[in-house]
């Protein structure tokens, strides 16, 4: 959820924007009446239409942060996108008013009286709109609010509308009254373009379009870097307001038990939420897959090949037999010295990390129960630990492969 401080920032920006638009619409209407400028009056209507989107942002952000309900289990985040869609329609309406006023000016050229009043009003509007739009866009980016960003972009393109008014009213000094209409149409093109971008962004989210490729790749990289994940089959993610929801299907070893699978899911969820901004929920599906090759580690007392006896004390063993089983048959076997045999402390944990991380073993056979430290270390690498009563490598391999070992 959005922080309360962010909600307050968005709401304050929207309220300030509302007040400024009310102020601008009043002075534009007054200046339009004094100067008889159609473009000023049209710009006043445009500012008045901006009041409603700003109010909608203030209300929409509050509603969007309501917790999920039984009827709306995914929350109300898309309210912000509905607000953005409404703002885009308001932008189109403002452009319509500007074009209508420009056409009227082409049809019936009207002399502008007291143009200095119109010039001052337009300059005040340009400066005010630029400052407030910059403020809204800054807060919108800080809080990742699509509705406030849309409102900020709306205010930014209104600068062009006021600039058109300034050019048009200034033309009265030179008796070129048609400049008002030409400038208004040019500004309207910018307004329509901004409206289209806002409309496209909001409708994509409302239609559950996928999030950008870079964000999906980031989730994939995080998953593949998480111990226990063998492959990412697919990722689906969709936006909802300032947040997005992600679903992914991953492959894990078939031997992993239910408890460890749950730990893996929770660990991966935490990794994604900690590293990816504005993610609301992650759904992870598991696809157990039998490995073609299973790697086994067995502590042995001395190197006697397949006749090597299993050593009962895991941390103090001199050697480890690393056995590869492929298609239920012995594929390869390597005898490695225990690199941590003489460590004064944590030797069991160090060995478990060595076997899980560097040797990539899947199973470990032991004679005696492990202490908590090595057990937790093996769990973090999803290594299966099995106690056995068998006495030699030959017997263990025969039991695993279900075949007689010579």
Instruction: Write the CB contacts of 328 (distance below 8 Å, at least 6 apart in sequence).
Output: 400, 401, 402, 403
Tell me which of 229 and 290 has the higher pLDDT. 229
Burial tier of 358 (Cβ tally within 10 Å: 0-12, 13-18, 19+)? exposed
Residues 318 and 337: beta-carbon distance below 8 Å? yes
Residues 139 and 10: beta-carbon distance below 8 Å? yes
Residue 197 to residue 14: CA distance in whole angstroms = 20
CATH: 3.60.20.10, 3.40.50.720, 2.40.50.140, 3.30.420.130. Which one for 293-401?
A: 3.30.420.130
362-394: pLDDT as tens digits:
889 998 888 888 888 888 887 888 888 888 888
Question: What are φ and ψ of residue 261, in 5° steps?
Answer: -65, -40
345-354: pLDDT as tens digits:
888 999 999 9
CATH 2.40.110.10 fits 4-206, yes or no: no
Q: Kindly list the distances between the CA atom of residue 8 and the CA atoms of 108, 113, 166, 301, in Å, as whole numbers in the listed order.
A: 48, 44, 35, 68
233-284: pLDDT as tens digits:
888 877 665 667 788 888 877 666 677 778 888 888 888 888 876 676 788 8
Q: What is the pTM for the complete model shown?
A: 0.47
Please tell me the predicted confidence (pLDDT) of residue 127.
92
Domain limits, the chain: 4-206, 213-289, 293-401
Point out which residues pair with 299 in neighbouring strands.
320
**Architecture (CATH level 2) of domain 213-289:** 2-Layer Sandwich (3.30)
């Amino acid at each position: 959820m959005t922080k309360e401080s962010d909600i307050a920032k968005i709401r304050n920006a929207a309220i300030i924007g509302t007040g400024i638009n009310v102020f601008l619409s009043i002075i534009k209407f007054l200046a339009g009446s004094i100067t008889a400028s159609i473009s000023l009056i049209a710009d006043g209507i445009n500012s008045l239409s901006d009041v409603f989107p700003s109010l909608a942002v203030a209300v929409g952000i509050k509603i969007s942060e309501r917790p999920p309900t039984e009827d709306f289990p995914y929350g109300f985040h898309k309210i912000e996108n509905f607000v953005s869609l409404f703002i885009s329609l308001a932008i189109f309406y403002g452009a319509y008013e500007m074009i209508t006023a420009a056409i009227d000016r082409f049809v019936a050229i009207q002399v502008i009286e007291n143009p200095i009043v119109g010039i001052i009003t337009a300059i005040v509007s340009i400066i005010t709109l630029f400052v407030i739009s910059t403020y809204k866009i800054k807060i919108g980016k800080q809080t990742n609010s699509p509705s406030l960003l849309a409102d900020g972009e709306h205010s930014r393109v209104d600068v062009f509308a006021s600039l058109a008014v300034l050019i048009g009213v200034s033309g009265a000094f030179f008796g070129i009254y048609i400049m008002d209409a030409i400038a208004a149409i040019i500004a309207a093109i910018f307004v329509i373009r901004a409206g289209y971008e806002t409309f496209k962004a909001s409708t994509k989210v409302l239609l559950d379009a996928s999030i950008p490729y870079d964000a999906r790749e980031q989730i994939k990289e995080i998953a593949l870097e998480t111990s226990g994940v063998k492959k990412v089959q697919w990722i689906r993610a969709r936006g909802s307001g300032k947040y997005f929801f992600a679903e992914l299907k991953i492959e894990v070893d078939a031997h992993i038990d239910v408890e460890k699978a749950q730990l893996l899911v929770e660990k991966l969820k935490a990794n994604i939420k900690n590293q990816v901004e504005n993610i609301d929920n992650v759904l992870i599906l598991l696809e157990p897959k039998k490995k073609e090759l299973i790697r086994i580690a067995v502590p042995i007392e001395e190197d006697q090949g397949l006749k090597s006896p299993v050593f009962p004390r895991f941390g103090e063993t001199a050697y480890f037999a690393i056995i590869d089983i492929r298609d239920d048959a012995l594929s390869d076997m390597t005898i490695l010295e225990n690199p941590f045999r003489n460590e004064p402390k944590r030797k069991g944990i160090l060995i478990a990390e060595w076997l899980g991380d560097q040797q990539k073993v899947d199973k470990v056979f032991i004679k005696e129960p492990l202490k908590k430290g090595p057990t937790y270390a093996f769990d973090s690498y999803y290594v299966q630990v099995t106690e056995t009563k068998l006495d030699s490598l030959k017997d263990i391999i025969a039991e695993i492969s279900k075949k007689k070992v010579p």
